[in-house]
Amino acid sequence: LEKVMNGRQPTDLMLRCTVLDAEGNVKTISGQFKKSDLSAEHQLNPRDLRKIDSRVPNLVPTILVRKQAILVNILHIRALIKADTVVLFDSYGSADSRLHSVYLYHLEHNLKLKGSGLPYEFRALESTLLSVLSALEEEMVFIRTLVSGLLAELEDNIDHDRFKRLLHYSRRLASFQSRAKLVGEAIDEVLTQDEDMVAMYLTDKKNGVAHSSLEHEELEMLLESFSKQVEEIVNEVGNIDTNVQSTQEIVELILDSNRNALLALDLKVSIATFGVGTGALMTGLLGMNLTNHFESHPYAFYAMTGAAGLASFLVAFIGFRKLANLRKIGLSRSPKPQRPWLPLPLRRRSQDGWF
Amino acid sequence: LEKVMNGRQPTDLMLRCTVLDAEGNVKTISGQFKKSDLSAEHQLNPRDLRKIDSRVPNLVPTILVRKQAILVNILHIRALIKADTVVLFDSYGSADSRLHSVYLYHLEHNLKLKGSGLPYEFRALESTLLSVLSALEEEMVFIRTLVSGLLAELEDNIDHDRFKRLLHYSRRLASFQSRAKLVGEAIDEVLTQDEDMVAMYLTDKKNGVAHSSLEHEELEMLLESFSKQVEEIVNEVGNIDTNVQSTQEIVELILDSNRNALLALDLKVSIATFGVGTGALMTGLLGMNLTNHFESHPYAFYAMTGAAGLASFLVAFIGFRKLANLRKIGLSRSPKPQRPWLPLPLRRRSQDGWF
Amino acid sequence: LEKVMNGRQPTDLMLRCTVLDAEGNVKTISGQFKKSDLSAEHQLNPRDLRKIDSRVPNLVPTILVRKQAILVNILHIRALIKADTVVLFDSYGSADSRLHSVYLYHLEHNLKLKGSGLPYEFRALESTLLSVLSALEEEMVFIRTLVSGLLAELEDNIDHDRFKRLLHYSRRLASFQSRAKLVGEAIDEVLTQDEDMVAMYLTDKKNGVAHSSLEHEELEMLLESFSKQVEEIVNEVGNIDTNVQSTQEIVELILDSNRNALLALDLKVSIATFGVGTGALMTGLLGMNLTNHFESHPYAFYAMTGAAGLASFLVAFIGFRKLANLRKIGLSRSPKPQRPWLPLPLRRRSQDGWF
Amino acid sequence: LEKVMNGRQPTDLMLRCTVLDAEGNVKTISGQFKKSDLSAEHQLNPRDLRKIDSRVPNLVPTILVRKQAILVNILHIRALIKADTVVLFDSYGSADSRLHSVYLYHLEHNLKLKGSGLPYEFRALESTLLSVLSALEEEMVFIRTLVSGLLAELEDNIDHDRFKRLLHYSRRLASFQSRAKLVGEAIDEVLTQDEDMVAMYLTDKKNGVAHSSLEHEELEMLLESFSKQVEEIVNEVGNIDTNVQSTQEIVELILDSNRNALLALDLKVSIATFGVGTGALMTGLLGMNLTNHFESHPYAFYAMTGAAGLASFLVAFIGFRKLANLRKIGLSRSPKPQRPWLPLPLRRRSQDGWF
Amino acid sequence: LEKVMNGRQPTDLMLRCTVLDAEGNVKTISGQFKKSDLSAEHQLNPRDLRKIDSRVPNLVPTILVRKQAILVNILHIRALIKADTVVLFDSYGSADSRLHSVYLYHLEHNLKLKGSGLPYEFRALESTLLSVLSALEEEMVFIRTLVSGLLAELEDNIDHDRFKRLLHYSRRLASFQSRAKLVGEAIDEVLTQDEDMVAMYLTDKKNGVAHSSLEHEELEMLLESFSKQVEEIVNEVGNIDTNVQSTQEIVELILDSNRNALLALDLKVSIATFGVGTGALMTGLLGMNLTNHFESHPYAFYAMTGAAGLASFLVAFIGFRKLANLRKIGLSRSPKPQRPWLPLPLRRRSQDGWF
């Protein structure tokens, strides 16, 4: 426990960051910075930087608005956006992933593109959210491919190993769904707080341009657009999930119904075995070493053979009839469909348009 | 990934549109327009037009209000409504569907109908929502027919193939339900934002007639009416879904109960087989090539036949009795119904009107 | 589709209405009125009257407040309430139901009763809501009787046909529940909109008595009282539904447990059959037409009979022992109950009051 | 129906009440009062008193605030609290329950206790809510004892009758849960309405001390404290319910798994029977009354006995092997665990801290 | 009941407390204080102290803001924080747990650390919430380890005892989840009430520094940070729970599918037994002590042996064929996949991106 408590106390750690300057050029690649220097330089609370610390895995994405900076911590991106600088924190030591380098490339490009009308910090934010979005989309497409492939295989054959894969996929689906939802919530949280949105106009703040708490249309449209797209992904994942759910339910029904069919076949075999057994009992009786007085009757053998065969057949026939009765199941085999009394106006309605 | 990121950057694409002028006449049919020209002409953000781009499938319907235009993107309709023009974007290349042409016909008719008191943009909106509504209604009726047909078939017979169809239908139902809900939410979102509704009075805006943020009764009633009707469809779909759910549950119970019945019959057969086997064992004993000292007793055969038959019968009888005991199941076969102690006032109540 | 779209355009239809005048007397019974005349006379939008049109079944009940009228469309009642007139629309052609005539009787009586302090329109509204309430209550009592009867039958015997009835009842329950909820929502929607409530003081409006947007205590108490009663019905239906749900779950467990019991009995029979089979094999061996060298031993027969019997018994005994082991199932048969380590304060707590 | 409608019309009924005066002394015990007199004396709407009428069972508890009185109708308590009087309505004729008399005793005591700083009406309210709370707590403890006793029994043995009791308990649990929630909602509803809370300062109102709509801290703290305690009970009931739910689910899994074990044992027996049957067929062949040319071979008997035994054993052995294969089931028996491709940053994460 | 009611009346009890002074030094360790003295000294309502009373277990954590103090009652911590004193109530008599001593140590340290910019009361609050957080985190990690260990075991083998452990773990999981949620709600409740947050600036209040109802940024950031971290834990627990749920569902499917496989093997054995039985019947026929006229035919024995073998084989072959048909189950074995009619625009869509 002490460890946990100490681990939470601010210690002076080095963070590896990539810094982009006001022109969009990379100033430092994976440089080492002291945590305390960073928080002093960017006027941040040490508590804020703790989230950035890559050694702690984080589930809940956040967009924090501070005096001179926006701290974005979503999925693979941990960035500090200021009015003229962007600091990217390397997530796991060295510059690692394809996603990250595409992000960096796009960010550089977008920051250099001054003509778009958006201030520096929003262009950085746009690139960041775009990278998040494409990561989500990519994984969504990937999971969708996996799941629909598996469901297509289930069309052909329901079996053991496919259930195990289904388990793995639905675990992934659930985890992805929760992540995507949390990203959406992080964006929406900013959208619902007017002060935060105004505080995000870092360039204007720096230049002393005041915004009233309702002037943030540009940013709102930017965020709303991303929010919608994340919502779309969440929705699609929800559809996949519903699909998996209803497949599971129906598969269970099919297995149940198949089990009944197996049981019925088993019963047929049992009945036939019973029939044969009855015949065998008869032959056994005559096989006893006792005087049955027909020992030398010339046709007794044929008669008994016929009798045993007939007994077997009869017994089996009766059994099959009983079984056939049991197998006829429907939802309405009740002798007469009862029509319960119902207040008139309601009754009419229920014929017209209600179930 | 690069592809994804690039695919999101505004590129200059051609869109096929049908344009209707202020009189409701079709000016251009499936003409080609540059995306950049369109966004410049109608003062739109390129980001807005991206949703219109028909190559990207979209799940989440939207009604976007911009300075001089309303962008509607619901189900099969992607339209740009202005104070004197309506631009319909062809969804998939050529003019394709019956729905679309009925929509165009109705739109033309409605735009020409100036006497109705509604401004140009609201008449366009009305036709658009009406087309959306009838598409939803049509599909709802279609699914309802499918599902109730299937449920009626289940009344007669519960089987394998019907479950597979049930799966397909409930997938469709779920997807339709989510779509209908999203349409409803898109309309409700506009309804909750007073500024957006005021901003939708495009004709008045053009003519310089100012609206306070609460003067939008006409539009509100229009939208509310559609919202109610979409809600009605969502409700009906919900009813169908509940119906399917409870059918599935009961079908499972019936299959379970049927399985028990099959097992019971199987048991009967097994018991009878066991009885016969007991008899056979007795005959087998006397069939051994050993001296049993009754070899030539004249009635021993009949005695043993009787004994074997009796043994078979007795064994089966005991088995059947045991089975009959097991088969009697109810929810209250417990020896005496216990009546747990309960504070008095609560006990009374539970007799009066509570369960 | 054209049909649908046209069917939505206002056409000039005749509606059959019953009209009550300011004194509460019936002026016209089932008179025919043109839709367009009605909307003109009562200053209604044609769209409003469409809901009244009885040929379209409607699920979602509504209380619409218009300039000079309140339009009520709940369950069997479609009424237009004005400051001095009540127009009842005949739902399906002729005056049909008992509910309807009781409603009309009560309405007449209540409208004549001027002394109650409530204005004309509220007395009409009160009668209307009372009729709705009693229709809901009546059906709730009816369904409750059906369901509790069925559940009582299930106490005695769980069978096939009862499941089918359960299905029908839970369908009805679900449909009734959704209807009752919608009625409650329709009333609550009016209650949340202060302007609507003020606008419902039709008599005062007619007499030029202005109400501020918060003066509507009388109406609020009236509507709240009905809202509470509908809520009570919804609550009771919810209780019935929970009851049905938990019964289904337990019935499934009981069927499962019964199936295990059947299987166990089946196993017993199989084991006994196997025992007998073992004995039979032994007799079969000695029944072969081969020299077994004991053919004429005087006690060999008895020895073998004993041996066969013993073998049968032994085999069955071992089988029964194994079965008995399997049948002992509980939730805690694990060899030693593990007590996982737990931070101390939490552990204490979990003994004190938590599960 | 007429009955229902009439039954709702205010009729002049007698109510039995116990009245406490301003000093906390009981003035009248179970006195009879006319409903109309009561409503006139306390300035109540007849509609309000209808809820008090004990003949109608009521599910939804209410705290109604009227001009000079607070009407409390929760569980076993139906009371009218004024600035100097408390009227308790006898719920079912005579003074009946222990709960009621404890309540009365506590109420008297609390009303006499003027030093507590709370005005008369709040002391009455406090006693009332305390009585409600202790009734809820008592039943909660009782149900918890029942349920945890049953669950402990299930630890030992899962059987039929316990499921029936489980059904009865979970019905009670559900009904109690809904009741407790409704009590909490009734209290919270008052807490959310500032005007109602201000209106509850009856003594100050009587003395002409005005309260602004935000001065009600005393009352707020009183109600909040009860609200928290009810919430605690609701929470605990929720925990019990979750517990019951997960027990049901696991019991189902255990029954399923036990069934598989039974089936496996059944299979073993069947396989052994089949083996024995194979041997028996061989002996049967040699038992035929046909010339097998080994009739007098001295060791043929032993050879055949050995052969039959071996055949039986071999057949059973093959069967057991097949069965053993089937019985090895785990979630990951797939030949090689597939590791699907995943965008890098997400993959890392999923190893670090996500599932 | 009397006991309950009395138990709630304020009685003068001794509480054991540890007191820290303004410098962060421990003044008293586990000293005894009278409840009434405490409430007088710290201006508390006796009702507030009741929650602190350690003999009553409490589920719902609370942070109460009073005139001169903050009362924190979360999990293992029951503390009273003032502007210059912290009173810790010993939960169960003596100073007991590791958690508690680490908390005390950290609290002392933090209170002495004046340079951090936070006032005394917030430093105390920070330590308190940190202790709560680490307790939650510790248990979460512990449960996660338990559950993932069990799930990994299930990968290898699905059996009885693991289900029992699963039950215990999911009970714990549910209880922990509800506790963690309640902690989060307690913090969020403070965050939503601006007045409460302002009232928590105890030092400023003491020094007469007034805060407007919106000046509480420091505290807001502190609480928000903890709220996020609790949310993260709740989220992770939710993921574990989803994981357990989907595992249960799939395990059920696998058990079902395994049962079908067992049944199929059983069927195979039954069929083979039936085949053998058929052969046995034939041999039985010829074993009867009747004249079959082939007694001394030299090859009759071989012919019959062959015939019996063939009959057994044929019967089994037919049975196996039937079984193989039944075992082929997939979701789409229906003869021809039906493609129901669908309005065109919807159909396209469903190919493009919808399920």
Per-residue pLDDT of chain B (355 residues; tens, 9 = 90+): 444 444 444 455 677 788 888 888 888 777 777 777 777 788 777 767 766 665 555 667 888 888 888 988 888 888 889 888 888 887 654 445 677 788 888 888 888 877 667 888 888 998 899 889 988 998 999 999 999 999 888 877 787 788 888 888 988 999 899 999 999 999 998 888 888 888 888 888 888 877 776 677 788 888 888 888 898 899 899 999 999 988 888 888 888 888 888 898 889 999 999 999 999 888 888 888 888 788 888 888 888 889 989 999 998 899 888 888 887 776 654 444 444 444 444 443 443 333 3
Contact residues on chain C for D166, CB-CB shorter than 8 A? 250, 253
Residue A196: which of A93, A279, A125 has the closest Cα? A125
**Which single residue is written with the structure tokens 């189950």?**
E329
Mean of pLDDT values over C229-237: 90
Order of all β-strands in the sheet with C14-20: C26-34, C14-20, C86-89, C77-81, C70-74, C62-65
More confident residue, E203 or E47: E203
> Residue E84: pLDDT band by 50, 70, 90 thresholds?
confident
* C164 to A334: CB separation less than 8 angstroms, yes or no: yes
Give the residue from chain C lying closest to A335, CA to CA.
C161
What mean pLDDT is predicted for residues C323-346?
57
Dihedral angle at the C-alpha atoms of C120, C122, C125, C131, nearest 10 degrees?
-90
Residue corresponding to tokens 């008994």: A304
Q: DSSP letter at C68?
A: S
Mean pLDDT of chain A: 80
Interchain proximity D59–C232, CB inside 8 Å = yes
Contact C59 A333 (CB under 8 A): no
Q: Which among A239, A290, A329 has CB closest to B301?
A: A290
Instruction: Note the pLDDT of residue C10.
Output: 44
CA distance B158 to chain A (A): 5
Q: Do the Cβ atoms of E97 and C344 come closer than 8 Å?
A: yes
pLDDT > 70: what percent of chain E? 83
Cβ atoms within 10 Å, residue E106: 22
Chain E residue with Cα closest to C349: E57
Q: Is residue E289 a contact partner of residue A286, using CB atoms and an 8 Å limit?
A: yes
Q: What local confidence, expressed as pLDDT, does residue C234 receive? A: 92
pLDDT at A173: 92
CA dist., res. B213 & res. B190, Å (int): 13
Q: How large is the average pLDDT for residues A259-264? A: 89
Q: Output the CA torsion A177→A178→A180→A184 (10° steps).
A: 130
Between CA E33 and CA E41 the distance in angstroms is 11
Top residue of A329, A349, A355 to mutate, by most chain C CBs within 10 Å, is A349
Q: D94-108: per-residue pLDDT in tens?
A: 445 677 788 888 888
Do E121 and E200 contact (CB within 8 A), yes or no?
Answer: yes
Distance from CA of D175 to the nearest CA of B (A): 7
Greatest mean pLDDT among C25-34, E23-32, E147-156 lies in E147-156
Which other chains touch chain B, taking contact as 3+ CB pairs less than 8 Å apart? A, C, D, E
Query: How is the beta sheet containing A86-89 ordered, strand by strand?
Result: A26-34, A14-20, A86-89, A77-81, A70-74, A62-65
D322 neighbourhood in chain E, CB within 8 Å: 265
Kindly report, residue by residue over C160-170, the tens digit of the pLDDT: 788 888 888 98
> What's the CA gap between E245 and E230, in Å, rounded?
22
- pLDDT of A332 reads 59
Distance from the Cα of D351 to chain A's closest Cα (Å) equals 10
- In this prediction, residue E355 carries a pLDDT of 36
- Is there a contact between C258 and B329 (Cβ–Cβ < 8 Å)? yes
Which residue is closest to A289 within chain C, CA to CA?
C287
Count the residues in chain B: 355
Greater confidence (D28 vs E8) lies with D28
When CB atoms are compared, the residue of E134, E263, E290 closest to A294 is E290
Average pLDDT over residues A150-166: 83
Contact list, D232 vs chain E (CB under 8 Å): 58-60
**Strands B70-74 vs B62-65: parallel, antiparallel or unpaired:** antiparallel
pLDDT band at D92 (very low <50, low <70, confident <90, very high): low
Q: Which residues of C touch E (CB under 8 A)?
A: 1, 287, 329, 331-334, 338, 340-346, 348-350, 352-355
What torsion, rounded to 10 degrees, do the Cα atoms D338, D339, D342, D348 define? 160
Helix H or strand E segment including B188: helix B160-192
Confidence of residue A79 (pLDDT cuts 50, 70, 90): confident
Task: Give yes or no for a contact between A264 and B266, defined as CB atoms under 8 angstroms apart.
Answer: no
The upper half-sphere exposure of residue D251, i.e. CA atoms within 13 Å in the direction of its Cβ, equals: 27
User: What is the least distance, in Å, from the CA of C242 to any CA of chain A?
Assistant: 21
ipTM for the assembly: 0.81
> Do E48 and E36 contact (CB within 8 A), yes or no?
no
User: Residue B76 and residue D225: Cα distance in Å, rounded?
Assistant: 55
Q: Using CA atoms, how far apart are residues D99 and D128, in angstroms rounded to an integer?
A: 11
Question: H-helix or E-strand containing D202?
Answer: helix D202-206
pLDDT band at C140; cut points 50, 70, 90: very high
pLDDT in tens, B155-202: 777 877 888 888 889 889 998 999 999 999 999 988 888 888 888 888
A164 with D352: Cβ contact below 8 A: no
Give residue A5's pLDDT.
47
- pLDDT over 90 percentage in chain A: 12
Check CB contact under 8 Å for C354 and E165: no
Find out whether E243 and E143 touch, Cβ atoms under 8 Å: no
Three-state DSSP at D1 gives: coil
Burial of A328-348, coded b for 16+ CB within 10 Å and e otherwise, reads: ebebeeeeeeeeeebbbbbeb
User: CB distance E333–B160 less than 8 Å?
Assistant: yes
Closest CA in chain E for residue C336 = E161
Rounded to an integer, the average pLDDT of E235-250 is 90
Rounded to the nearest 10 degrees, what angle do helices D217-287 and C217-287 cross at? 20
Chain B hits for C271, CB-CB cut-off 8 Å, are none
Amino acid at position A338, single letter: Q
pLDDT at D342: 42
Please give the structure tokens belonging to residue A338: 């009862």
pLDDT: is B294 or D58 the higher one?
B294
For C337, name the nearest residue in chain E, comparing CA atoms only: E165
D300 contacts in B (CB within 8 Å)? none
Q: Tokens in use for B28? A: 């251009």
Does the pLDDT value for residue C7 go beyond 50?
A: no
Nearest 10 degrees: CA dihedral of C155, C160, C161, C164? 100
Token pair for C313? 């018994």
The token pair that represents E64 in the structure block: 């109460």
pLDDT for E310 equals: 92
Q: What is the pLDDT of residue E354?
A: 37
Cα dihedral D320, D321, D325, D326 in deg (nearest 10): -30
Q: Quick: pLDDT tens for C168-196.
A: 898 899 989 999 999 999 999 888 888 88
Q: What is the mean pLDDT of chain D?
A: 80
Residue A64 dihedral angles phi and psi, to the nearest 5°? -100, 135
What does the pLDDT read at residue B34?
A: 79
Query: CA angle at residue D10 from D5 to D12, to 5 degrees?
Result: 130
Helix (H) or strand (E) holding A191: helix A160-192
Determine how many CB atoms are found less than 10 A away from the CB of residue E176. 23
Residue E143 has a pLDDT of: 93
Place of tokens 């009766």: A318
As beta bridge partners, residue D88 has: D18, D79
Provide the total of helices (H) and of strands (E) in chain C, helices listed first.
Answer: 11, 6
CA of C288: which chain D residue's CA is closest?
D287
Q: Which of B76, B98, B164 sits opposite E332 (nearest CB)?
A: B164
Q: Which of B135, B171, B343 sits opposite E343 (nearest CB)?
A: B135
d(CA A60, CA A54): 14
- 3-state SS assignment for residue E295: coil
Average pLDDT over residues D329-352: 46
- Total residue count of chain E as it appears in this document: 355
Question: B257 to chain D, minimum CA–CA distance in Å?
Answer: 15
Q: Percentage of chain C with pLDDT > 90?
A: 12
From the CA of E119, how many Å to the nearest CA of chain A?
16
Q: What is the pLDDT of residue A56?
A: 53
Q: CB–CB of A330 and B266 under 8 A?
A: no
- Helices marked H in C98-159: 98-112, 120-156
Strands E77-81 and C26-34: unpaired
Q: Would you tell me how many other CB atoms lie within 10 Å of the CB of residue A2?
A: 12
Determine the Cα–Cα distance for residues A240 and A231; give it in Å rounded to an integer.
14
- Chain D residues whose beta carbon lies within 8 Å of the beta carbon of residue A301: none
pLDDT at residue A64 tops 70: yes
- Beta-bridged to residue A63, according to DSSP, are A72
Name the burial class of residue A208, with classes exposed (0-12), middle (13-18) and buried (19+) by CB atoms within 10 angstroms of its CB: exposed
Give the list of residues 6+ apart from residue A81 with CB closer than 8 angstroms, or none: A69, A70, A71, A72, A121, A124, A125, A128, A202
Predicted local confidence at residue D173, as pLDDT = 92
Long-range contacts (CB closer than 8 Å, 24 or more residues apart) made by D201-205: D201/D119, D201/D121, D202/D68, D202/D69, D202/D70, D202/D81, D202/D82, D202/D83, D202/D119, D202/D120, D202/D121, D203/D83, D203/D84, D203/D119, D203/D120, D203/D121, D204/D119, D205/D68, D205/D83
- E215-240 burial, b for 16+ CB within 10 Å, e for fewer? bbeebbebbbbbbbbbbbbbbbbbbb
B68 CA to centre of own chain: 38
Residue E140: per-residue pLDDT: 92
Q: How far apart are CA E249 and CA C52, in angstroms?
A: 48
Pick from E88, E114, E113, E73: which is nearest to E30 by CA? E88
Give which of B4, B5, B326, B346 to mutate to test D binding, by max D Cβ within 10 Å. Answer: B346
B277 vs A29: which has the higher pLDDT: B277
User: Smallest Cβ distance to A277: which of B276, B284, B288?
Assistant: B276
| DSSP per residue, C288-318 | SSS--S-TT-TTHHHHHHHHHHHHHHHHHHH
What residues of B are in contact with residue E287 (Cβ under 8 Å)? 287
The Cα A347–Cα A343 span in angstroms is 6
Residues on chain E touching B133 (C-beta within 8 angstroms): none
Residue D344: what pLDDT?
41
Residue entry with tokens 């491709």: D341
| End-to-end alpha carbon distance in chain B | 60
- Report d(CA B115, CA A140) in Å as an integer: 50
Q: For A110-153, how does the pLDDT look when each residue is reduced to its tens digit (9 = 90+)? A: 888 776 678 888 889 988 998 899 889 989 999 999 999 998 88
B52, B71 contact by CB (below 8 A): yes
List the structure tokens of B343.
């504070």
What pLDDT, on a 0 to 100 scale, did the predictor assign at position E56?
53
Residue A175 has pLDDT above 50, yes or no: yes
Nearest CA in chain B to D173: B355
Selection from B286, B272, B346 nearest residue B316 by Cα: B272
